[in-house]
Structures are given as C-alpha cells and as structure tokens.
Structure 1
C-alpha cells in the first residue's frame, strides 16, 4: 500500500529541519560571509548585528526655517546676532538676541525654542517680535531622537531592502557584512522540452519552467549557477544530479518526480542520497520530492508549470530564505470572501484567484480553469486561495489566501 500523502505544513517543517542539518554538517555549503559596499547590498542577507555608534541626529537641530531664542526673552523685540545654516557650527546665543536658523541647522547653545518664520514680525529697526505664548522645545529635533548610540538596530538574518540601506547610511556604515547568495542549480527533465527560440518538432513543447524559476530565484536573492536540460534516462539523471551537487547549495529539478517509466528523479535521488518527503497532500503539486544529493539539499518540483510555480512559492522560497541565513517567513495569510464554488478532498488546494478590495473586504474571484498546465492562470492571478482538505466552499464563505 502507498504511504499516506504528507500534509503540507508537516512536509515544510521536515524540509527546513533537514536542510538546516545538511548545511550545518557540510562545510562547502555552510553560510559564507562577505563584505559588501552599501550600494550593492540590496537584497542581501545581513550576517552581523548592526549597532549604532553615534546618535542620530548627532545634535539638537531645527525642524524648520525660523528663529532660535530663549523663551524667557520673548516676545522681544530681539536683534539677530547670528545666522545658522545646516552644516554650520553656531556660536553660543548671546543673551537678549535670537539667531536666524534653517532646517537641520544645529541649535545654538542657550537657545531653547525655534519659532517658524511665518509667526514673527519685524520692528522698524528690523528686530524680531515673537508670540508671547512660546513653549521650550518647540520645533527642535533632539540629539538621538531617531537613533541612540549603542542601540542594536538590525539583527542577523534580515534581508536588506532600501529602508535598511538608508538606516545603515544614517549611522555612517559604508559597507556591511552579508551572507553569500544561495547558489542554485536548475535541472529541467524531459525529452519533450525545447528552449525558446528553437523550432518545435512534433511532440515537443517549450521549456517555461526554467525561466519561471530563474525569475523567482532572482527575486528571492538567490544566484542561479546553472540551468541544465536532462534527458529521460536514469544514467543521465544521475550524472546531472551529481554535477549539480558539486557546484550548488540547492538543487531544484522540474518534472520526472512521478511514478511513470520515464520519471527518473525519484530513483536517482534515492540512489545518490536520500528522499525524505514525497507525495504531498497538495494540489497542484502532489508529486513533490524533497531530499538530498550527498550533502546538498534537493527539491524536485512537478513538471506542470502551475505545479512548479505553486511548489516554488510554498517550498522553494522558505528553503532559499533558510539556506541564505534569512529567517524563513510564511506568506502573510489574509481572509477573503469567496466568489466561487469548490470542494476539496484529501489534498490542500491552492486556487489561482484575483483579490479585489471591495465593500470593506477582500473579494476573491477564481480563474475558471484551475488545471495545473494553465500558466495563464498564474499571470492573471494576484493571489492564491488556500483551501484545506475536506472543505466545501460556496460563494460568500470566508477563505484564507495570500497575495503574490
């Protein structure tokens, strides 16, 4: 009797645990650190904690253009004793005077408030008159208001985006220590596959899975080191897997993971390493394989393009995150209102849907053809609805989904 189908969440946790163990035991695929200049650090995974060595801002400064003074000297009139622009070091404020000041300029010692220029008036002698109800501290940005020296701002495992780069620059970091990107080898199995741009012979189709995976992996910060077509034979499959394991931190194959006579991935992986997870309670994507070749993690995705896409979203993305040193993150699950009917049996289904915010809720429209070979459904969809096993969904029911 075949083994029961493995639940998705259980398979995912098993994969992450196994890949972490493989990485820890294999020096050639362990996380390598490298120093990266800030301008090239976008999308890289932080390898060290970031601690501020200075206050931001480094001194009290003006939040606007106006005049700095002592509240006790208001309402004046007060002569202007100095002019302070951003980047200049002011002199201490002379008693009974005010300072012309501009946004970002340091507050002169002795001044305790800033009045915006629109609220002052001039005397005939061009002295400054101020409102009588001034409050100390108005329009002053205090030193350390944003960052206090000694504070830990970022922890290892953060994938750096534009916000992080700005924060690092604000504390003076010109370069940062990051992990090397995960190196991924893609194997496309199937004698029927032809690269785009070549002529199709009878029975052949274009290989859409390889460019699809290359794009996703690039978005997720991985480095694709090879894309290799593999003919439908056990020997060729073993040879390709062995070569991929020597150059990559992760091997991903498409096709050849079912039980047909031309499906050689499963026996080849079992011969060269081990197969820990196979046949999932998942639709599309039941024949999804997880294992290892030597000490190199392996994920075998089904050959149908939608199965490849969904399997990559659910399994490849967290695998890349973990192997790169980032904290694996599950998709942010939302609640929406189904505008479709469906019934699941023993597998968790991922339906291609369009999520539209309407009437104070997410409304979910399903693509008419949910076949795993219909790649246009993935282009049309902006979300995947997650329907657990044994569910009957009617229009108006609340269902879980995540945005793509």
Structure 2
C-alpha cells in the first residue's frame, strides 16, 4: 500500500515535518551590488567597518556651546558656523558660540547644543533662554547607532527595503548572498483557457498561475511559468522532465485529486517519489508533496483559494528553508472574538477568510462570506485567516478563535 492509499488525512503539522526535514538550503552564492540585493538572503554576517555616526554630530539646528561659558553669561557672540559636510574649523575662543546645523560635526570642546527655538538673536549676539541644561544635550555621539565590528545583519536574513539603506550607511557597496531558489510552475486541465481568449462551453480561465507567480516572487524565489498543460500523459511527463532540469522546485495546480483525468500521480511515481497526497486541511485537502529526480514537487489543488492557501501555509516554509532564510517565522496566531458565525465540520483544520479589526484594544473578526474554495472574492476581501482547529465544530458569534494576520507575501 502506497502513502497515497493510506486511510485518513495527514495532519498539517505532520505534513510540514515531512516536507521540511529532507530540505537542505541552497549553497551557491553570489556577490551583488547593494542596489540589486533586495529580496536575497545573506550568505554571511554583515559586520560594520565603521562607527555610525562616524563623528559626534548635532541632533538639532541650533548653537554649540560650552556649559561653563553660559554659567558666566547667557549672551554669547557667534564666531562661526558648522554645516553638514562643512564643519567649523580653527580656534574656538572662550565665551563664544558656533552656529550648527543638524548632522554637522560638533566643534572640539562643545558639550551641548541649544536648539535655535530657545535663543534670541540680535545680530551676532545670541541670548540663550533655556534654563534646564545638561551635558551632551542634543549631541549624537560617535557610534551611537552602530559601532565598528557590530553584527548589523546575520547570515540567513532576507534583505528588505529597510535593510538596504542601513547597509549603505556603512559604505558597503557589494554583499554576498545565496542565489534565489528557482521554481517552475504550470496549470493542468483541458478546461483551462488563457486570458484574452473566448470561453467555450465547460471552460474556465486559468487564474491559478496569476496567484502562484506573485507568491513565488514574494517568497524570494525566481519563477518560471510553463503555462497551461493539457490532460495528456505524454505532454505532462515531458513537462515534468523539462521543469525539473530548470528548477529546484516544480509546482503544479490541478491534477492532484482522484479524477479519471488526473495523471499526475502516475507520472510522479515514474519520475520520483510521492511523500504524501491528502491532508487534513480545508480548503486544500488534495495537496501533494514528493521528490523528482532533480527537484522537489508540490502539487496544489485546482480550486483558486485552495491553491493560494496551500502555497501560503505549506510551500512558503519549504522555500524559506530552501533559500536559507533562517529568520523566517510562521504567521503568529492571535485570539479574536467573532462578530459573525463560522460553519465548520470536525475533521480538518479550516482556514476561513476573515476581516479583522480592533475594538477597544481587542481583536474582533467576521467572515468574508462565501467560504467555497472556488470563491476567490472572499480571499480578495480578507485580511486574515480564521484558523479553526481540526476537531472544532461551527463557531457562534462571541466565541474566541485564533486568527493569523496576512504576512507581506499576500499584499
């Protein structure tokens, strides 16, 4: 008896363990210019070669002073200026002040900066009105943000739009990253038609590839779209063979249920091994995972919501491990109070689409309506999944459920 013939449905946790255990991260590395590195995973720690800031600088537009001078006279003549990139140079006589701008280098001997709003200006004479003074007021010291040899990002971090400018402040122009995993994907089914064509009786548009491709890219991988493949065993087999030569992972949508025209199972048994076929998840029960000769395989259900959900819940952690993204974390579950009822039959973990909001500091959630796996509008309206436990039954208004806010891959 093969795994696909075993009775019962595999729990999600067991499926994830079976998927992730054999995965080893890619090891090939690239050295990229910093502007091209967005979305890649770091192949080594980034250590700061400099202090940030590299010198004491002003946090305000104002005047550099010595506190001891102000103790003698609240009015001091201005004898020079310090700008960002053009610091004050020369001697700084006692009982004088230096005009200074935000980010400008602090003159030697300065122990406070008084913001300009707390002064009265009469020509070059500056009267300081601030009564409460303290040493190093409004001065950002050398290395206040980052010190030399600090680890600013660890190997395994995926570079975001927040990381790139931070690395740039260190003067680092090129960084070492892991190459992105490559994922080839295609849809199967004689009923599918490409966009821009007229539908005949019994046909539908292929929407799944338009959900799969952005998710692949948002996961930090490169996508190869192999199009729509008809229900023809020879064509399917040749497509699998071609896909596994180009990619680390091959993803299909459709063709993994138990219909007479679903040939994927037979082909996979010829080209590799099937890990499992049916999961205790709703929507998305007919999800398949296995290994081809040269690539991993994930077979998504054909229904649009099921395809996106299984990509998000099951494929996302797989490719995170494959890419070396060691800092990836599954979405956090948050308790919320229901503002609508949710229908459920025990037996499968149910990911229903919901809309959460916050009332009086507490999370509340309501259904998006139609929860059919073919009704994608409910997915478009949602901002979270309502995760209903495997053995739980229907939920009434006012009960507590766990929700998972969508992570950025779904935005």
Q: Tell me which interval the TM-score lies in, with the shorter structure as reference length.
A: over 0.9
In structure 2, distance between residues paired with 1:400 and 1:310: 17
In structure 1, distance between residues paired with 2:114 and 2:55: 18
**Secondary structure, counterpart of 2:42 in structure 1:** coil
The equivalences for 1:305-316 within 5 A come to: 305-316=304-315
In structure 2, distance between residues paired with 1:288 and 1:341: 24
Contact 2:388 2:401 in 1 (8 A): yes
In structure 1, distance between residues paired with 2:62 and 2:253: 65
Could you say which residue in structure 2 is the equivalent of 1:377? 378
TM-superposed CA distance for 1:133, in Å, is: 4.7
Residue 326 (structure 1) aligned with residue 322 (structure 2) = no
Could you say which residue in structure 2 is the equivalent of 1:356? 357
Could you say which residue in structure 1 is the equivalent of 2:161? 162
More displaced 10-residue stretch of structure 1: 334-343 or 159-168: 334-343
Deviations along 1:64-105, one digit per CA (max 9) or x if unpaired, are: 111112111114243323211111233353223221111111
1:2 corresponds, among 1, 6, 9, to: 6
Could you say which residue in structure 1 is the equivalent of 2:113? 114
Residue 128 (structure 1) aligned with residue 130 (structure 2) = no
Residue 367 (structure 1) aligned with residue 390 (structure 2) = no
TM-superposed CA distance for 1:180, in Å, is: 2.0
Could you say which residue in structure 1 is the equivalent of 2:409? none
Residue 194 (structure 1) aligned with residue 198 (structure 2) = no
In structure 2, distance between residues paired with 1:221 and 1:168: 19
In structure 2, distance between residues paired with 1:133 and 1:346: 68
Could you say which residue in structure 1 is the equivalent of 2:136? 137
In structure 2, distance between residues paired with 1:95 and 1:366: 71
Please tell me the root mean square deviation across aligned C-alpha atoms, in Å.
Answer: 1.8
Contact 2:87 2:105 in 1 (8 A): yes
Structure 2 regions of 5+ residues with no counterpart? 407-411
Residue 87 (structure 1) aligned with residue 85 (structure 2) = yes
The equivalences for 1:273-284 within 5 A come to: 273-284=272-283
TM-superposed CA distance for 1:342, in Å, is: 2.3
Could you say which residue in structure 2 is the equivalent of 1:105? 104
**Secondary structure, counterpart of 2:147 in structure 1:** coil
**Secondary structure, counterpart of 1:342 in structure 2:** coil
TM-superposed CA distance for 1:319, in Å, is: 1.9
Contact 1:304 1:373 in 2 (8 A): yes
In structure 2, distance between residues paired with 1:197 and 1:307: 24
Could you say which residue in structure 2 is the equivalent of 1:403? 405
The equivalences for 1:256-271 within 5 A come to: 256-271=255-270
Contact 2:305 2:376 in 1 (8 A): yes
Distance 1:99 1:225, change over 3 A: same
Could you say which residue in structure 2 is the equivalent of 1:67? 63
In structure 2, distance between residues paired with 1:318 and 1:248: 17
TM-superposed CA distance for 1:185, in Å, is: 0.7
Deviation >6 Å, runs of 4+? none
Contact 1:285 1:311 in 2 (8 A): yes
TM-superposed CA distance for 1:132, in Å, is: 5.7
Residue 394 (structure 1) aligned with residue 402 (structure 2) = no
